[in-house]
Structures are given as structure tokens and as C-alpha cells.
Structure 1
Amino acid sequence: MRKVTFLIVDDSPMWRKVIKRFIEEKLGGNIVGEAKDGIEAIVLYKKLKPDIVTMDIEMPNLDGIKALEEILNFDKDAKVIMISSKGEEDVVRKALLKGAQDFIRKDLKLEKWVKRFEKVIREIKGKKENMTYNVFSVIISYINKLKNNNKS
């Protein structure tokens, strides 16, 4: 099975490196791109269509909340996990109401990050398995129709 793909969005090169290492080492994920602001995030999302986006909130040019909205306008099924040092209740609520899958504070222990990411990864893998099953059942149905037509 192919690895889950990620786009990392954070204006801090240090945090992009930390998140990248976490995804590769703890989750076995594949980083397909990195962006330093919301504008780059939108462009790269449209080009790369990653399974999951990690998104900082406070960034230059376009903040994470606005970038989240734009990505979801482009793809309503996009999976975006906000990762930010800003953890005030109103910021978290706003991100989740706008459509973020989860909100992780940068100061959380990495073991807790794993659980939060795994929940979203399970959802993605479940959806892909359902799509595969649906395609497979359509093919079987088509083959059975052909067989029945050939018997006539």
C-alpha cells in the first residue's frame, strides 16, 4: 500500500524540519511538499493533492485559517491538521469550524501527535478501501452482465 502523502506548511524552517522528521519517522509518511506561507500552500495543494496538510496559523502573506478556507473551497474533502503555538480556545474553535480535521499545539508531546494523526490517517485509508471496494463491485457487476448477455 502506498504511503500517506503530506504537505507541510509553516513559516519556520525549524518547525518544518521537526514536522517532516516526525511524519517520516513516527508515521512513515511521504512528504511531497513544503510551503512557508498560505499562498504557497494553496498553489502546492492544487498541484500535489496530498492526503494531509499540516498548517501553521500565523504566517506572512496569507495566514493558515484563510489558506485552510481556500484549500477547502478547491477540495471539500481536503484533510488539514492545524499545528500551531497559538492554542487559545477561540483560535482552535475557529480552525475547527472552518473545516480543520484537528488542531495540535506545538508544545504537545509527540506521542499525543501520533494519536491525533493516526485518527486522520485511518479515515483516509478507510475511504480509499471503500473506493477500491466500490470500483471492484462495479467491475464484477459489469462482468456478470456481460456473462448473462452472452448466455442469451
Structure 2
Amino acid sequence: MFEANLSATLPKPAFYDELAMQARALFAGESNRIANAANFSALLYHALPDLNWAGFYFMTDGELVVGPFQGKPACVRIALGRGVCGRAAQTRETQLVPDVRAFPDHIACDAASRSEIVVPLQTSAGELIGVLDIDSPQLARFDDEDRQGLEALARLFVASIEG
């Protein structure tokens, strides 16, 4: 069984470097999108402090459809441009939201969520395959170091399923 042994007391860049090493180990020899997304969402949920949701939405027939995740049940389908996930997918830019209640058109799947970061997932050819969505019950939980670390981890995930 895989065990996440990370210290949240590390400086964030070092923490994300360690998390990347563990993600690479999870992805080693496996290219199945669902398997890697399931393990990766579990790794993030248990390694990152102060989360209440970590998971994926994948592009399916022009909209985002929930994929593997950890946390409470989630919204199943999200239109491009709707909420934080839809905006990240539409703009193909990471959305770092310190207070989701101040975000226009926020979709509240879990009323406990107060901050959110959503990273678009793009293949090396530029195709949008979905988003990595992470929520916290803590206001302003995510910062630019988290953005950089999670974008790097998202690239590792995409590389793992591209073969």
C-alpha cells in the first residue's frame, strides 16, 4: 500500500518537489487516466493540509464531467465558463480564488468550501482534457507557490496519461 509521508512543515517549493516524487512513483508504469486520476486525487487530498475536496473534471462532449476525487459528492456536470472550474477550462488559465463567495457564478457543491484553485489540464498538443480542482474550507488557503506546485503536478499527471 502506498503511504504519503510528507511534512507540511517543509517550505512549499520543497514540499511540492517531494509531492512530485511521490506522484511520479504512483504514475510509474501506468497510463490509464482513471487509475492515475484516482490515485493522484487521493495523494493530494491526504498530503495537502486543509482540503475538503481534491479531484478531476474531464472534458466530455463539450462540458466538464466529474472524474475521480476525494471529498463529499460533487456536481456532476459543469458548463464551460460556469463557476471556477468552467472558467479555468474556458480560459485555460489557473484560477486561484481566495474567497469563493466573492467569485461571480461560483458553484457551491460543498457549502464548507471557502477557497479554491483549479488548474486546466492540457496535452502537449494543446488539447484541453479537463481540470484539477482543489477546495479548502479555509479562506485564502492557496497562494502563488501552491499555484506553481500544482501546475507542475498537473503537468506530471498529463504526461503520465499521454504515454
TM range (shorter): under 0.3
Flag the structure with higher strand content: 2
Question: Taking structure 1 as the reference length, what is the TM-score of the superposition?
Answer: 0.28
Flag the structure with higher helix content: 1
Structure exhibiting the larger radius of gyration computed from Cα positions: 1
Question: Taking structure 2 as the reference length, what is the TM-score of the superposition?
Answer: 0.27
